[in-house]
Amino acid sequence: MDYNTTREHMIIPEYGRNIQKMIEYTVGIEDREKRNKSAQFVVRVMGQMNPDIKESSDYIQTLWDHMHMIADFKLDVDSPYPKPVKENLMRKPDRIEYSDKKISLRHYGKTIENIIAKSNEFEDGEEKDALILSIANYLKRSYLTWNRESVSDATIAKHLEEMSDGKLIFNQLTPLISVSEVVVKNKPVNKMKKKPQKGFGSNTKKKYTK
């Protein structure tokens, strides 16, 4: 019995093992004209087996490239396209460079981080203190939208300090908005009103006109 574990590794599994065998057979054909005809036939079959690839504008060239890959670049035929370079097709994609700037506490969002960064530029005084209080209240409301249990003012103060790199300090002398007030405001309101049901004891009578 031919088990999958003992079979040869498939280069591109989407085409199946039969296509791979057909390509391997084509590579071994000594007559160049027959080898060319076999390669063209295999490409047509590959296109039928993988119709999604037709959405690409260069899908014919892609099929030929795939055939060369499955043949381990050993196929010598008169292709309508240049033979692909193995190193270019098989190399790993370039690493995507991500910004090192990360959101400290992701659930608050990027917008509030930008506001905090601007607030760091304010000089100390009443205006900055009022701004800190406003930001702290916003953080508490935001926190409670995804965590309805509870959060202390000390926790919010700590988060604000972390997000501002220690430049915005909430002294907690003024209490923030209460948890119950935020939860009540965020609680969905059921606007469905019960309609009075008509029973047998109803005094409502239909009026008939002659």
Residue identified by tokens 């760091």 is 120
Kindly indicate the confidence band of residue 101, based on its pLDDT and cuts at 50, 70 and 90: very low
- Same structural domain, 14 and 79: yes
Q: Tell me which of 51, 66, 90 is where a domain ends.
A: 90
What is the CB neighbour count within 10 angstroms for residue 151?
17
Burial of 23 (0-12, 13-18, 19+ CB in 10 A): buried
Beta strands in 57-188 (DSSP E): none
Is residue 150 situated within a structural domain? yes
pLDDT score of 1 more than 80: no
Is residue 27 situated within a structural domain? yes
Amino acid of residue 90: M
Condensed to tens digits (0 to 9), the pLDDT of residues 53-83 reads 666 668 888 899 999 999 999 999 999 998 8
The residues, any chain, with a CB within 8 Å of residue 144's CB and separated by 6 or more, are 151, 179, 182, 183, 186
Is residue 62 situated within a structural domain? yes
Q: Tell me which of 38, 61, 90 is where a domain ends.
A: 90
Domain assignment of residue 56, given as a range = 4-90
Note whether 62 and 78 are within 8 A (CB): no
Is residue 148 situated within a structural domain? yes
DSSP per position, 43-79: HHHHHHH-GGGGGSTTHHHHHHHHHHHHTTT------
- Same structural domain, 9 and 41: yes
Q: What does the pLDDT read at residue 56? A: 66
Q: What does the pLDDT read at residue 208? A: 45
Q: What does the pLDDT read at residue 28? A: 95
- Structural domains in the chain (count): 2
Is residue 199 situated within a structural domain? no
- Same structural domain, 124 and 151: yes
Note whether 12 and 70 are within 8 A (CB): yes
CA 122 to chain CA mean position, Å: 37
Is residue 125 situated within a structural domain? yes
159/192: higher pLDDT: 159
Task: Produce one character per residue of 44-64: b if its CB has 16 or more CB atoms within 10 Å, e if not.
Answer: eebeeebeebeeeeeeeebbb
Is residue 151 situated within a structural domain? yes
Q: What does the pLDDT read at residue 64? A: 92
